[in-house]
Amino acid sequence: MTEGIIVAIISGVVTLAGVILSNMAAGRKTQSQIEIAQAVTDTKIDELTREVREHNNFAKRIPVVEEQIKVINHRISDLEQKQN
């Protein structure tokens, strides 16, 4: 009966070691996948930030262009009136 207990303890220890090693490997794999996903997310955020900054530059310039168009239209109107 003592041999059965020793065999059961050894089997339990080996099984426990296998489970621990398996969980550690799965944890490393999961961590690696999380790091890759985070890197992809960071890249996407950087790209969106660049696009927003580019859009903001256009948004700042549009009122200036609109004002210039108003001035040009006014000048054209003045020239047309002088010709008539």
- pLDDT(82) > 90: no
CA–CA separation, 28 and 66 (whole Å)? 57
Query: What DSSP element (H or E) covers 34?
Result: helix 2-83
The length of the chain, given as a count of residues: 84
What pLDDT score was predicted for residue 41?
Answer: 97
CA–CA separation, 65 and 29 (whole Å)? 54
Query: Using one digit for the tens of pLDDT, what is the confidence trace for 18-77?
Result: 999 999 999 999 999 999 999 999 999 999 999 999 988 888 888 889 999 999 999 999
